[in-house]
Amino acid sequence: MEKMVNKLAIDGGSKAKTTPNIPMYPGGLEIGEAEKKAVMQVLDDKYLFRYYGPSDVESKVKLFEEEFSSKIGVQHTLATNSCTSALICSLVALGVGPGDEVIVPGYTFFASCAAIVAAKAVPVIVEVDDSLTLDPDDVEKKITPRTKAIIAVHMRGVPCNMERIMAIASKYNLKVIEDVAQSTGGSYKGKRLGGLGDMGAFSFQYHKIITAGEGGAVVTNDMMLYERAMSYHDAAACWRPGGPEKRFAKARYNGELFPGVNYRMNEISGAILRVQLERLDGLLAQMRQNKSRIKNAISGINGIEFRRLNDPDGDTGIVLILFLPNPEITGKFAEALKAEGIAASSMHNKSVPDWHVYSHWDMIINKWTATQEGCPYTCPHYLNKGGNVQYSSDMNPNTLNYLGRSLHIDIPAQMTGDDCDMISEGILKVAKAYL
In the chain, where are the structural domains located? 33-277
Active site residues per annotation: 208
Identify which of 215, 252, 434, 200 has the alpha carbon closest to the alpha carbon of residue 334. Answer: 434
> How does DSSP classify residue 357?
B
> What is the value of pTM for the model shown?
0.95
Query: What confidence score (pLDDT) does residue 4 get?
Result: 53
Query: What confidence score (pLDDT) does residue 2 get?
Result: 45
Strand order of the sheet with strand 344-346? 305-306, 319-323, 406-410, 344-346
**How does pLDDT run along the chain (435 residues), one tens digit per residue?**
344 558 999 999 999 999 999 999 999 999 999 999 999 999 999 999 988 778 889 999 999 999 999 999 999 999 999 999 999 999 999 999 999 999 999 999 999 999 999 999 999 999 999 999 999 999 999 999 999 999 999 999 999 999 999 999 999 999 999 999 999 999 999 999 999 999 999 999 999 999 999 999 999 999 999 999 999 999 866 777 777 677 778 888 888 888 899 999 999 999 999 999 999 999 999 999 999 999 999 999 999 999 999 999 999 999 999 999 999 999 999 999 999 999 999 877 766 678 999 999 999 999 999 999 999 999 999 999 999 999 999 999 999 999 999 999 999 999 999 999 999 999 999 999 999
- Residue 242: CB atoms within 10 A of its CB come to 8
Cα torsion 331, 333, 339, 342: sign = negative
Q: Which residues are within 8 A (CB) of 326 and not within 5 positions of it... i.e. 6 or more apart?
A: 404, 405
Strands 187-188 and 216-220: unpaired
Q: What residue spans of 22-180 are helical by DSSP H?
A: 33-45, 60-72, 83-93, 111-118, 136-141, 162-172
Look at phi and psi of residue 138 and say left if phi exceeds 0, alpha if psi is from -120 to 50, else beta.
alpha
Query: What confidence score (pLDDT) does residue 115 get?
Result: 98
Per-position DSSP letters for 227-245, written without gaps between them: HHHHHHHBTTTS--TT-GG
CA angle 169, 233, 185 (to 5 degrees): 55
Query: What confidence score (pLDDT) does residue 251 get?
Result: 84
Separation CA 411–CA 416 (nearest Å) = 10
- Residue 218: CB atoms within 10 A of its CB come to 32
Separation CA 136–CA 138 (nearest Å) = 5
The torsion of the CA quartet 326, 327, 333, 335, rounded to 10 degrees, works out to -170
Q: Which residues are within 8 A (CB) of 82 and not within 5 positions of it... i.e. 6 or more apart?
A: 203, 205, 214, 215, 216, 263
The amino acid occupying position 351 is S
Query: What confidence score (pLDDT) does residue 287 get?
Result: 98
Query: What confidence score (pLDDT) does residue 1 get?
Result: 35
For 57, 164, 230, 327, 349, the CA distances from 109, given in Å and listed in that order, are: 38, 23, 24, 21, 16
Q: Is the peptide bond before 376 cis (omega within 30 degrees of 0)?
A: yes
Separation CA 84–CA 425 (nearest Å) = 39
Separation CA 276–CA 234 (nearest Å) = 25
Query: What confidence score (pLDDT) does residue 52 get?
Result: 78
Q: Distance from CA of residue 213 to its chain's centroid? A: 15
> How does DSSP classify residue 56?
T
CA angle 413, 414, 415 (to 5 degrees): 95
Query: What confidence score (pLDDT) does residue 351 get?
Result: 62
Separation CA 361–CA 354 (nearest Å) = 9
Per-position DSSP letters for 380-432, written without gaps between them: HHHHTTT------TTS-HHHHHHHHTEEEEE--TT--HHHHHHHHHHHHHHHH
Separation CA 352–CA 366 (nearest Å) = 19
* CATH fold of the domain at 33-277: Aspartate Aminotransferase; domain 2 (3.40.640)
Query: What confidence score (pLDDT) does residue 262 get?
Result: 95
